[in-house]
Amino acid sequence: MVDVGTNSTRLLVAEVEEGGVRELDRRTTVTRLGEGVDAAGRLGEAAIERVLEACAEYRGAIDDAGAERVVAMLTSAVRDAANGAELERELERRFGFEAQTISGEREARLTYLGATSVRHHEVPTLVLDIGGGSTEVVVGEGDSVQFFVSTQLGSVRHTERHFHTDPPTPAELEACRAAARAELEAAVPRDVREQVNEGIAVAGTPTSFAAVELALDPYDPERVDGHHLTLAACERILAELAALSLAERRLVTGLHPDRAATIVAGGTILFEAMRLFDLDEIEVSERDILHGVALEAARNS
């Protein structure tokens, strides 16, 4: 499975056994496909080339593992770009991927499936997927999805919209916070928000915040997965990162240097979502849309 996202391109080679996903290989490359898409409406040539380079490396790993099926999911940046279909065709032609540009609705459902695959929460639970170009908000209970929405909130999108100085000014930070909260309030009805008792956060922003809090060097996915990030810790880490220049953020223990440019916007979305859903803490998960795609592909094979 390959996830071609707005900020990163990721690989999961896995076996699905008795409804569970056993990882054989997992890789992430920050490719910044969505760079400039919010303003220009098109994928840039340099960004496309970064994705193709990553996929060429992944194709080798896929062949070495002897994978029987290769599914590539393209998400927000490709959905929003006028030339997104060209990248989809190129992935099929060059690498033989079953490439699909999926809707925000399907992205949300697959994320919920992956995030809850080993976490069967029996109370209304929020699954929050903060991407580079969109943020998926899903509320479910057990195996049942009760509400989902794909918003235009994203770590890349909101970095480009709101942050123009280094480090960001208080006014820029407040504008980003206000935009995140307003979009979430408009997207998620109050009665849905009030029924949520627990939360799971997936993707690079929450895993980075967990790694920063744990001061992980090198990154350890086993320690990140299942880590409970409190609202107070999220607020503290966000304030610390926002006060640093980009060069300084690149040196923060636990934060991958390639995520330094967009982590403040991503953290703002995470913090505002936790506040809006009145969550004192949220569980960080390494299992996300990739695992959802793996489970779906196995069921349909």
DSSP string for residues in 189-213: -HHHHHH--EEEEESHHHHHHHHHH
**pLDDT score at 18:** 67
Domain total of the chain: 2
Q: How many CB atoms lie within 10 A of CB 159?
A: 23
Asked if residue 122 has pLDDT above 70, the reply is: yes
158 and 279 in a single domain? The answer is yes
pLDDT band at 121 (very low <50, low <70, confident <90, very high): confident
8 and 99 in a single domain? The answer is yes
The one-character DSSP state at 146 is: E
> Angle 226-228-231 (CA atoms, 0-180°, nearest 5)?
150
In a domain, 292, yes or no: no
**With contact defined as beta carbons under 8 Å apart, do 6 and 131 qualify?**
yes
pLDDT band at 294 (very low <50, low <70, confident <90, very high): confident
Asked if residue 169 has pLDDT above 70, the reply is: yes
- Order of all β-strands in the sheet with 20-30: 20-30, 8-17, 2-4, 71-74, 98-101
Q: Among the three residues 104, 129, 145, which one is the final residue of a domain in this structure?
A: 104
N-term to C-term CA, the chain? 14
Tokens found for residue 110? 């697959």
**pLDDT score at 120:** 73
**pLDDT score at 154:** 96
100 and 231 in a single domain? The answer is no
Q: How many CB atoms lie within 10 A of CB 164?
A: 10
Mean pLDDT of 95-106: 93
Q: What is the pTM of this model?
A: 0.91
Mean pLDDT of 109-114: 92
211-236 pLDDT, tens digit per residue, is 999 999 999 999 999 999 999 999 99
Asked if residue 296 has pLDDT above 90, the reply is: no
Q: How many CB atoms lie within 10 A of CB 42?
A: 16
Q: Please, what is the average pLDDT of the chain?
A: 94
Mean pLDDT of 67-73: 91
Torsion of CA 99, 101, 103, 109, to 10 degrees: 30
89 and 158 in a single domain? The answer is no
